[in-house]
A and B are shown apart, each in its own frame.
Chain A
Amino acid sequence: MGTDLSVSGRGLRWFEALTGLEGLLDVAPRTVRVADSRLGEEIARFIAVVPDPGNRFPRARQGELGLEEAWTLARQLRRTVAEDLGARARAVIAIVDVSSQAYGRREELLGIHLACAAAADAYAGARLAGHPLVALLVGKAMSGAFLAHGYQANRILALDSPEVLVHAMSKQAAARVTRRSLEALEQLGERIVPMAYDVRAFARLGLLHRLIEGVNADAPGADDLVRVRAELAAAIEDARAGSRDLSVRLTSAAARETRAASIAVRRRLTEQWDAP
């Protein structure tokens, strides 16, 4: 039993490095970190979901995105929109290192599915209200946790690092559910690109705006931070100039190749939508 419990500190490390803890908000629970920090010419709101060994919900101690994390994300995003009403909608940077949503009988009973929906709802609502949303993948971006924190972004950026993984289910769980060995699963991922876990395969799906290479993902140096901040600022500007929906995800060269069926479905639906 058990997940691949590599409790990553990357989310917190990148949050601290990028914000310098400038403009840190006092948020409870401590698993959700929020700071309003300078990025280029503007102030952007940085949000990370991190492990907290002292959390009152056991499954949030190792960094799983649980009930309070999800509802708190929703609260923070809604407040962001409310605070900026009538003014310039500030950018929101989601720093993503989330291994999974919380698993448990108590979580299911208390509606973890609704909590995660509320987070996704609030992120989407902020995007529709004109806030540029940028997700920066620094570690794991898995499943329901990623749906709740990051996947509603206008632009998704990722560090080119072997520990940056994107998928719908942890390798161990997927191996058990499909009755395959880990090796067999990895081999499948090499043949079938949407089944792979690593970020370079994910980049081939056309969903990434930028894959940031040559950065020390575990211990970013000063130069690394300058580069990443520049990429974030550029992504924000790109998002402001673009649409508030997610249609950009089907426009890249990679998408036209690997998501060709997604594009064809939409084209054919449009053709058939109105009765002849």
Chain B
Amino acid sequence: MEVLNFTYPARQPVAQRVHVGVVGSGDLEVLLEPSPDQHAHVAVTTSVDGFGAVWKIVLDRFFSRFAGAAAIEINDFGATPGVVMLRLEQAVETLHR
């Protein structure tokens, strides 16, 4: 089990809290809420060690499109990058509903 932290600059305020997903095999849950500052913070707890670089790539790509100052908690049970991106996008879509 590994804990990874990431920070991104972000200006746009986030209006509400959103939760998606389940910590099932090959899946993850995402908790998204307003950040206390003008940055987005991501805390990842993952069952698979050693993939920090892959997480960074996925999150870099996500934050290139999402500008919200969000505090994001991810609890991951071996999801592929594709599923991670899916859940993050699902969270944002719910946010904008």
Direct touch of chains A and B (CB < 8 A): no
The interface of chain B, by Cβ under 8 A from chain A, is none
The interface of chain A, by Cβ under 8 A from chain B, is none
